Amino acid sequence: MTYEKDLSIVISLFNEEESLPELISWIEKVVVSNGYKYEIIMVDDGSNDRSWEIVHELSRKNPCIRGISFRRNYGKSAALYHGFMAAEGRVVITMDADLQDDIYKIPEFIALFQQGYQIVYGVRSNRKSDTYFKQKTASVFYKLMGFMGAGTVDDHADFRLMSNKALEALRGYKEVNLFLRGIVPLIGFESTKVYYERKQRVTGETKYSFRKMLSFALDGITSFSVRPLRVIALAGLLCSGLSILGLFYALISYFAGVTVPGWTAIVCSIWMLGGIQLLCLGVVGEYIGKIFSEVKQRPRYIVDEVVFCQDTPQSKDSL
Ligand code: UDP
Ligand code: MG
C-alpha cells in the first residue's frame, strides 16, 4: 500500500486558543527541517473559546493542516480516535495541544519506527511538572489499573507513535467506550518507549478537573476489567463465611447463658452489611450502565465541520 504522507500528527484540543499558533510553528519547524511529507490533523473537541477560528486561520496559512470540529465535548479519546481514522500518513503521532509534549522527540519516534517498532510510547522521565495531588492520584491510578488486570504504560499519556499496521488493528475495536491507553498496549505490536521531560503547561490550565479524572479512571477500569465484580463476589463469600462463624458464636453464647442485649453488634452489622451491599450494587450498576451504553451503539461523536488540506509540500525523501 502506498501512503500520501509519511507522517500524520493528530492533536486533540479543547479550549487551547493561547497555545495553538506556537504549537503549530514548533511542529512545522521540526517536520520541515527533517523533510517529512506530513499533515497535521487538529480535532477540536467542542471548544467554546476561539480555538476553532484559530484552526481555520492556521489551515489557511498551511494547507497541510486539517481541522475537524466536534459538535460538543466528547472527550480526548474520541477526538484522537477520529484523528486516527482520518489520518493518511504511514505513521500517526498523537500529542497534546498545550506544548507539554516534547516536539523535538518526533525524529526519534520515527527512527524507532524505521527500526521496526509499530508503536512508540512517549513516557515522562519524571512528573515534576505535575502538582503533588496529580502525581499521587496518577500513581494510584496506574497501580489500580495494574491490579485490575489492564496493562497501561506507566507515565505515558497520549504522546505516541502508531504505525498504520497498528491503527488497522485498532479499527477492529468497536466499543463505544474507548479507553485508548488500555487498548493500545492490548493490540500487542512490537513497541518501545522514548523518555522525555514533560514541560509545565505554559498557557491556559488543565482541562482535566478532578471530576473528569475520576470519570476517566472509572471508565478505564470498567472498560477493561471484570475484576471488580470478582472482588465483590469474593467479599460476599467472605462475609457469608464470617456470618456463619458469627452464628455459631451467638448460639454458643446463648447456650452458655452469657448473652447480653446485643444492640451495638446488631446496629454495627446492619450498617456494615448495608454499606457493603450498596457498594456492590454500585459497582454492578457501573457495569450494567456500560452494557447499556454499548448496546445502544450510539455514535462515539458527531462531527460538526471540517477544514481540508488542499495540497502537500514536496519532501526530500520518503520514510
Ligand atoms: N482535551 C480534549 N478534550 C477534553 C479535555 C482535554 O481534547 O475534554 C485535550 C486538551 O486540549 C489537551 C489534551 O487533551 O490538548 C490534554 O489535556 P490537559 O493538558 O488538560 O491534561 P493534563 O495534561 O493536565 O493531564
Ligand atoms: Mg496538559
Cα of 134 to ligand 2 centre, how many Å?
12
Give the Cβ contact number of residue 40 at 10 Å: 25
Alpha-carbon span 95 to 309, nearest angstrom: 19
Identify the bridge partners of residue 47 per DSSP, sorted by sequence position: none
Instruction: Report CA 73 to chain centroid distance, whole Å.
Output: 15
The per-residue pLDDT for 314 is 40
For atom 5 of ligand 1, the residue with the nearest CA is 207
Cell for 312? 502537500
Consecutive 10-residue averages of pLDDT for the chain (319 residues): 83 95 94 93 95 94 94 93 92 94 94 96 85 83 78 87 94 84 88 90 81 83 80 81 79 77 72 81 86 81 80 46
Give me the residues near ligand 2 (ion), CB cutoff below 5 Å. Answer: 96, 98, 100
**Contact call for residues 39 and 31 (beta carbons, < 8 A):** no
Per-residue pLDDT, 311: 46
pTM, full prediction: 0.81
Q: Which atom of ligand 1 is nearest to the CA of 16?
A: 11
Other Cβ atoms closer than 10 A to 21? 13
Give 206 Cα–ligand 2 centroid separation in angstroms.
6
Amino acid at 319: L
Q: How far is CA 85 from CA 17, 109, 226, in A?
A: 24, 20, 29
> What ligand is nearest to the CA atom of residue 20?
1
Quote the cell numbers at residue 28.
Answer: 512545522
The edge-to-edge listing of strands for the beta sheet with 156-163 is: 191-196, 119-124, 156-163, 89-96, 5-13, 38-44, 65-70, 303-307
Which one, of 117, 164, 141, 114, lies nearest residue 10 by Cα? 164
